[in-house]
């Protein structure tokens, strides 16, 4: 079930033909299901995650205990993470992907994200 909302919406089509009032009700349910599916990953991370943190946590796990080949950020010193991001931006630090990613974030955003990661266990 990749997209439950679509399944619900298409299942309601025959009912719409019989009773048009069913269309609105079924569509509302379908929309609610889709919205919940979209919100679930965001809620799973942490409610206090600053803007942009979710774009990092796809690669850098938000928990320090997760086994991953990508360098750990969870529980790391925030100033160290900020300094590394600066080095990626300027090209001082070699990278495969982080130079491009770092350029997409302002210093304030990086500081907020680094502070958030520092608090993750
Ligand atoms: C596409 C996956 C990906 C995303 C998204 C990503 N990173 Fe990275 N990150 C990496 C990889 C891979 C490295 C290792 C360096 C390289 O090859 O670019 C790395 C390295 C780093 C390092 C250096 C860690 C060290 O100890 O050397 C920092 C700091 C960092 N990332 C921060 C971030 C932040 C902050 C974000 C979100 C704004 C982010 N990364 C998003 C994949 C990612």
Distance CA 120, CA 64 (A): 7
Residue 18 burial by CB count (10 A; 0-12/13-18/19+): exposed, middle or buried?
exposed
Nearest residue (CA) to ligand 1, atom 24 = 71
How high is the pLDDT of residue 48?
81
Whether 104 contacts 113, CB under 8 Å: no
Residue 47 vs residues 8, 50, 52, 106: alpha-carbon distances, Å: 29, 9, 13, 21
Which of the listed residues 52, 57, 59, 116 should we mutate to test ligand 1's pocket, taking the one with most ligand atoms within 8 A of CB? 59
C-alpha to C-alpha distance for 6 and 56, rounded to whole angstroms? 29
Q: How far is Cα 64 from Cα 3, in angstroms, rounded to an integer? A: 30
Q: State residue 25's pLDDT score.
A: 56
For ligand 1, what atom is nearest to the CA of residue 84? 29
- Class assignment of domain 53-119? mainly alpha
CA distance linking residue 114 with residue 89, whole number of Å: 15
pLDDT, tens digit only, all 121 positions of the chain = 555 544 444 444 555 566 656 556 555 545 455 444 544 554 455 558 999 999 999 999 999 888 899 999 999 999 999 999 999 999 999 999 999 999 999 999 999 999 999 999 8
How many helices (DSSP H) and strands (DSSP E) are in the chain? 7, 0
pLDDT of residue 46: 55
Question: What CA–CA distance (Å, rounded) separates 47 from 120?
Answer: 12
pLDDT recorded at residue 5:
47
């Amino acid at each position: 079930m990749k997209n439950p909302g679509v399944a619900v919406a298409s299942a309601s089509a025959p009912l719409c033909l019989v009773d048009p009032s069913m269309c609105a009700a079924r569509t509302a349910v379908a929309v609610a299901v889709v919205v919940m599916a979209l919100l679930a990953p965001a809620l799973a991370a942490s409610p206090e995650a600053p803007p942009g943190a979710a774009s990092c946590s796809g690669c850098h796990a938000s928990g320090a205990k997760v086994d991953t080949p990508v360098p750990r950020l969870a529980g790391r010193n925030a100033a160290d993470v900020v300094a590394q991001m600066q080095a990626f931006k300027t090209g001082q630090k070699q990278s495969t992907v982080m130079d491009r990613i770092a350029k997409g974030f302002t210093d304030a955003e990086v500081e907020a994200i680094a502070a958030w990661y520092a608090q993750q266990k």
